[in-house]
Structure 1
Amino acid sequence: MKTYFKKISVSIIAAAGLVLFNGCDLDINDNPNLATGAVVTPNYVFPAVVATTMYNQVNYYGYASAAYFVGYQVPGAGIGGFGDVFSNSISSSFNTGAWTAVFSDLRDLQTIIRKAEEDPQYVVYGAISQVWKSYLYQLLVDIYGDVPYLEALGGGSGNFSPKYDKDSDVYQYLVADLDIAITTLKANLNTSGLALLTSTTDPVFKGDLAKWVKFANNLKLRLLVRARGTVIDSFVQSEFGKFSSDGFLKENVLVQPGYNASSRENPFWEIYHSSVAGSNTQAANYYIPSCYVFAFYNGTKLNDPVRGALTYKSFPNTPRWSLADQSAGQPYTEKYTWHVGTGSGVNASVAKGILKSRAAASPLVLAAETYFLLAEAALFDHALDGDAKSNFEKGIEASFAYLELEGTATAPPDVTAEVAEYFKLNSDNYLVNFDKATTTEQKLEAIITQKYLALNIIGSHEAWTEFRRTTYPTISGTDSLTTFASTQSSSPRPDKLLIRQIYPQNERDLNENAPLIRDGFSNPIFWDKD
């Protein structure tokens, strides 16, 4: 049996129980009854972690936080209790699942990694778990900054107060661990005698290790692009020349752990539409888009009738509101703002757009994002796969193609005509016509603004991160079309926005090494532009 699973940079002494679909709110320093390989095996643990990751990303990293922070959604009339959204006065009790649920998944992944070292037949599971672990850790770093890494996930060793590692250091550890995972996967592409991945045990790529290698390259690309120009820029420039020759995954990364209409819904549908029983969610009943984001579709900033109609019900007459101008009062939603099909509750139709169906696979990373990352890399002298303009345009096309998918379909449709019309309608605007961007900064603005549109609701966490990193899309004033900041914001910053989240209070209570962060306006992440 040919295996290759090199020791990674962290302690492989993790432990955790099997996580089922909504995660459990255990703290990183908890030491629960430890699951052992005799009880839980990687082929059961990994798909459960994938499913909870997808739910956590849509819920804690999108709907409950970043979708507000970047203006994708605002509360409509008829609902209260949004004081922290209006004022940006978040505390250590805000959105704690973004920390606890993710660390719960990380402990499970570490269990798999340890099992792979102990039992070589699980080497492939160990490698893909390392890739997934890197993905989760970047989520954490991008909203919290410093996190426990080198000493984390080792509750069984007796260290219940792991030290915090610098955010910039963790980025470097993640790049190194992805390289190791890639090497391991490539060494075992055709190895016999291993516990192999299947469509059931691998809800992401159904056992296609070549795709896992490319996906790991994608994650490394995201890390390096984000860290360019920071305190670790010399490391970044060196690593840009060390990519695996296998290339990048230029397709939507879709998670499908068995979503269906009767028991386990796609998390976007579960959060933004209705329950299995057909009961409307809070988002379905009350949430609407901000005037700021809507202006990129209805001709105010850009003219995008196709994606507008694929994103918003009743476009261009969708109710919208602004935290920046609350004088008009909140309009009522028409229900199901982001479902462009027909019907309601259990009778809702499958559709194109964001809310496709209860049983549709859930997008973890869009192909559009990968193209925009490649475009930005090329813009700054790292043409890894095509130039900046070609990747920029492919990113826009990939965004159209994803939204045009209907129901459970996964094969990208031909959107050539729609994309050509979009370029024609906006031919004089450098945010669409790359040739009209006359400076590097304008080209970067175009790339990030189009990424912002591609990630609308689907990848709110990434859009918020990219806004903080680049300040794009541009906000330039105090009215509903020029900013998504609230008039009631308590932020002392000129833009009146948040730049981070705060560590949960239970982490501060249990780990003496946890930094004391009092507000969301200071202590920026290392890549934050300002």
Structure 2
Amino acid sequence: MKTYKKITTFCVLLGLAISMLFISCETTNLELQDNPNELTLSSADPNFVLNSIMGTFGQQHFTLAGIVEPMVRHNHLFGTYANSASPNTMDVPWQFTYAITNNLNFLEDLSTIQGLPQHVGVGQIIEAYAYVNLVDFIGTAVYSQAVNPEFPNPILDDGASIYDAMYNQLDDAIVNLKKENSILFEDIYYNGDVEKWIKLANTLKLRMYVQSKLVATPEMVSNLNAIVAAGNFISDPKDDFVVLFGTNETNPDVRHPNFQQQYADGTNAGNVFQSNDFMNLLLNTKSSPDPRTPFYFYRQDLNDPVTEDVDHCGASWFCYLGDGYDGRDHGDDEGIENDGEQRVAYGIYPSGGALDTAGTQAEETAIATANYDPSSGVTLAEHIKEHLSTVNPTTTNSSNLGGEGIGPFLTASFVHFLLAEAALPTPQGMGATGDSATLLKTAMELSFAKVEEVSGEEMNDADIMDYVDEVMAEYNAADAEGKLNIIAREYYIACFGNSIEAYNLYRRTGYPDLQAHVLASGGEFPRSFFLPSSELTTNSSLDAVDDQKKLTDQVFWDTNPAGFID
């Protein structure tokens, strides 16, 4: 029997929910051989192996998104960029990727015995997504010699060649998915729906083409147009590629990671601050606040922060946005105060937290004033302060979804934003087919609908219409560069919960305009990440000094000028 030296990741799966490695997964080195106590080709359950691949991808994706979330101002970055981008930062995502490859190799061997082309096809799609993520973050990866006993010290492949290989692999996956399987496959994302997996494969290719627009060839544009013309891609929310979290708290805890950070007993909102820059974008850059604001963010206290919380702010900082939106500026490294129950928390979307139902500070002050009883024994000022601090309960006392949020990997809304960008003329876009304005409008509408669907709460239809109309009026009056800025800005807002999309978007387009790092020592924005130290120290084909990258190195599709984003 063939022997496999593998890393197999076992994750406890509940319904369609996955949990993060640090919560409920155990990674174990196993020797897979002909032993009744170990996993072998004759004893392995192919659905278990396939779902292990899927669960590991979810961990890779969430880990990467969490790394760049503060960098792209989706939440607060504490200190310098280098603090969040060390040589160890990519160790875990790298390991997850090769765990996927290990298990896919094993699944392919299972298929030769049991006839499982559809299992293999799904695994190929997941592996392709994982490798694309590595290339987008690091610029390179071990691929052609990966997880091959003939190459114990595999070489690195350049990013463009890996992209080319993944296009071919996705085509192979579609072929496999169209073949007959000996057994039905079960999966945690699409519940065994072959057609949805084929749509995902086509959508990943579409995403890669747009991602590579700065180095696009006419053939790539033609291929993108062909996918759109065929219509077999994620264009409807029913085909969204998402992970659904649950409410179970223990063995395993399957609640959304953001919920675990800020709503679990004893967390007091955790050591998480929301980004003033991102909140300001939603609150103050249009005629009215973005209708998604109370879904994205939950204010625990509408009182203004005390002086010592804000007296360190610089003259050009947001510092405090008012109305209880107590976050931090980009890079602010002031010590953390004991203010966990005052700061803004993640909301109901995508984190499965609470919906912010309070009004503005002025509205709630008026309510408190009207309800004041002079005989209560407290002053009016004390009464107002108490009302502002309790109108929204703290996270741990709030009425919430219990962590039943989502991880939006690739949604119909995201795809329409990508197509809107692609339909712009070059160099802002790709000159692809489609009406950019119509695609942008649909993308925004789908974003609002997704937030409502996940939260189970409705927004005011008139507010949504006013928002969309205002953006479209701005878009129609803009030149080509302005149109790209608007598409990017709205995509950036809509992809909250998946900062991988925002990180790629920012490097690809330079938009939206984001707050500069507030520290003079903040450093340059990471255009990519270091090779993982775990690979450099164990792979003798690499030199830990000469082969290490710089954070300013640009991935193959990022041909924008050095230093053009902060």
**Residue in 2 aligned with 1:90?**
85
Q: Is the 8 A contact 1:256 1:362 kept in 2?
A: yes
Unaligned runs of 5+ in 1: 1-12, 25-29, 76-81, 352-356, 476-482
**Which residue of structure 2 aligns with residue 509 of structure 1?**
537
The amino acid across from 2:552 in the alignment is S
Pair 1:444 & 2:442 matched: no
Q: Is the 8 A contact 1:93 1:505 kept in 2?
A: yes
2:60 maps to 1:56: yes
The aligned residue for residue 253 of structure 1 is: 241
Shift, 1:95, TM fit? 4.7
Aligned-pair CA distance for 1:89: 7.2
The answer to whether 1:522 aligns with 2:552 is yes
Shift of 1:165: 1.0
* Number of aligned residues: 463
Give the share of equivalent positions with the same residue, in percent: 22
Choose which of 264, 267, 276 in structure 1 pairs with 2:256. 267
Q: CA deviation at 1:330?
A: 7.6
User: 1:417, CA displacement in angstroms?
Assistant: 3.4
Give the one of 454, 467, 486 matched to 1:422. Answer: 467
1:162 is aligned to 154
Listed one character per residue, the Cα deviations across residues 13-40 of structure 1 (whole Å, up to 9, x for unaligned) are: 884434325459xxxxx98523432343
Q: Which residues of 2 match residues 54-453 of structure 1 at below 5 A?
A: 54-58=58-62, 60-63=63-66, 65-74=67-76, 82=78, 85=81, 87-88=82-83, 90-120=85-115, 122-154=116-148, 157-185=149-177, 187-188=178-179, 191=180, 194-197=182-185, 201-230=186-215, 233-243=217-227, 245-250=230-235, 251=237, 252-256=240-244, 260-262=248-250, 263-269=252-258, 271-275=260-264, 278-280=265-267, 284-300=269-285, 303-314=288-299, 316-323=323-330, 332-333=339-340, 334=342, 337-339=345-347, 340-341=354-355, 348-351=398-401, 357-379=402-424, 380=429, 383=432, 386-407=434-455, 416-425=461-470, 430=474, 434-439=475-480, 441-453=481-493
Taking structure 1 as the reference length, the TM-score comes to 0.78
In structure 2, list runs of 5 or more residues that go unmatched: 12-18, 23-27, 33-38, 303-322, 348-353, 356-391, 562-566
TM-aligned CA deviation for residue 502 of structure 1:
0.8
Answer yes or no: is the 8 Å Cα contact 2:243–2:409 preserved in 1: yes
- Aligned to 2:528, the other structure's residue is in SS state coil
Contact in 1 for aligned 2:79/2:331 (Cα 8 Å): no
Q: Is the 8 A contact 2:76 2:329 kept in 1?
A: yes
How many Å separate the matches in 2 of 1:490 and 1:16? Answer: 37
Query: CA, structure 1 residues 322+414, in 2 after alignment: closer, same or farther (shift >3 Å)?
Result: closer
| Cα shift at 1:264 | 3.1
Contact 2:413 2:444 in 1 (8 A): yes
Distance in 1, matches of 2:194 and 2:469, equals 40
Secondary structure class of the residue paired with 1:403:
helix
Deviations 1:484-517 (A, max 9, x none): 42414453xxxx3111111121200122344746
How large is the Cα RMSD of the aligned pairs?
A: 3.3
The runs of 4+ residues in structure 1 deviating greater than 6 Å are 325-331, 412-415
Q: 1:292 to 1:510 in 2, by over 3 A?
A: same
Secondary structure (helix, strand or coil) at the match of 1:405 reads helix
Between 325-334 and 206-215, report the one with greater CA deviation: 325-334
Is 1:19 the counterpart of 2:10 in the alignment?
yes
Bigger-Rg structure (1/2): 2
Question: Residues 257 and 72 from structure 1, CA distance in 2 versus in 1: closer, same or farther, beyond 3 angstroms?
Answer: closer
Structure 1 pair 502/394, CA: closer, same or farther in 2 (3 Å)? same
Shift, 1:402, TM fit: 1.8
User: Is 1:42 equivalent to 2:36 in the alignment?
Assistant: no
Q: Would the alpha carbon gap of residues 91 and 18 (structure 1) be closer, same or farther in structure 2, given more than 3 Å must change?
A: closer
- In the aligned structure 1, how far is the partner of 2:486 from the partner of 2:263? 35
Q: SS of 1:214's equivalent? A: helix
Deviations 1:57-77 (A, max 9, x none): 22x2122x20111111116xx
Conserved? CA contact 2:485–2:512, under 8 Å: yes
Q: Specify whether residues 259 and 171 from structure 1 end up closer, same or farther in structure 2 by C-alpha distance, changes over 3 A only.
A: farther
Task: Judge which range, 418-427 or 289-298, deviates more.
Answer: 418-427
Query: CA separation of 1:174/1:489 partners in 2, compared to 1, >3 Å: closer, same or farther?
Result: farther
- State how far apart, in whole Å, the 1-side matches of 2:436 and 2:124 are: 30
1:285 is paired with a residue whose SS is: coil
Q: Assess if the C-alpha contact under 8 Å between 2:5 and 2:30 holds in 1.
A: no
**Deviation for aligned residue 1:217:** 1.0
Which amino acid in 1 is paired with 2:117?
V
